[in-house]
Chains A and B, each alone.
Chain A
Amino acid sequence: GNSVTQMEGPVTLSEEAFLTINCTYTATGYPSLFWYVQYPGEGLQLLLKATKADDKGSNKGFEATYRKETTSFHLEKGSVQVSDSAVYFCALSVSGANSKLTFGKGITLSVRP
């Protein structure tokens, strides 16, 4: 079956620190990979995605590269801000009958001034 594993949280960083959130996956078939973010009091929204190997998704200073050889999609940002405090979910989808998203457990990031 399909599964997504995220590093354990929560994570607390100081503003301007470098961020890495690890994500690895197992999939039957060729998945597309996603990072979703949930800011406090808001709904889940797409942060970035990549649909084939070696693609890099990027948005709001965040980046993640689809690594098929290591089945990974780690999220990085060079300099975090307080406004990046949120819950981050890694997810995959495989084209087929329903293309449902399979999510990791999510990780809470807190950025302090």
Chain B
Amino acid sequence: GAGVSQSPSNKVTEKGKDVELRCDPISGHTALYWYRQRLGQGLEFLIYFQGNSAPDKSGLPSDRFSAERTGGSVSTLTIQRTQQEDSAVYLCASSSSAGGGTDTQYFGPGTRLTVL
């Protein structure tokens, strides 16, 4: 079946511009996560959506970052006024979990963001 998809696969932007990254989770998965992987670093948690509940935004690094999830499916991560330190691979993952912690998260291929 179809896995998690993300678009675009690569994005190059100029400092100060806004960008939108899209994630399409596995159909039927209620949990959706965004992570960021900066060069030489592990993955950092950004935000979590579970069904229709309010998202957990505890990992967002600044108020320039925001995310939405429409209709419990597709999610968009928006970065406003991009900075060079935002350059990273942004990964989306989905899970059928209801917060149990034991379930597998399935990752998309990522969006590589480069801020010039």
Residues of A at the B interface (CB closer than 8 Å) are 4, 31-32, 34, 36, 42-46, 49, 51, 89, 91, 93-106
Contacts and interface: CB of A to CB of B under 8 A. Distances in A.
A95 B103 CA distance: 10
A69 B47 CA distance: 32
Given A89-B42, A105-B41, A105-B42, A99 B101 contact: yes
Nearest to B105: A101
A4 B45 CA distance: 13
A103 B107 contact: no
Interface of B: 3-4, 31, 33, 35, 40-43, 45, 48, 50, 56, 58-59, 91, 93, 95, 97, 99-110
Contacts of A49: 102, 104
A100 B47 CA distance: 9
Q: Give the interface SS of chain A, mostly helix, strand, loop or mixed.
A: strand
A108 to B, nearest CB: 11
Nearest to A36: B107
Q: Which 8 A-B pairs have the closest CB atoms?
A: A95-B101, A103-B42, A44-B107, A98-B48, A100-B45, A43-B109, A103-B43, A105-B42
Given A99-B97, A103-B42, 6 more contacts: A43-B110, A44-B93, A89-B43, A98-B50, A102-B45, A105-B41
A49 B56 CA distance: 24
A33 B67 CA distance: 27
Nearest to B46: A100
A51 B93 CA distance: 19
A46 to B, nearest CB: 5
A43 B48 contact: no
A98 B109 contact: no
16 contacts: A4-B42, A43-B108, A43-B109, A49-B104, A89-B42, A94-B101, A95-B99, A95-B102, A96-B99, A96-B101, A98-B50, A98-B58, A99-B48, A99-B99, A99-B103, A100-B59
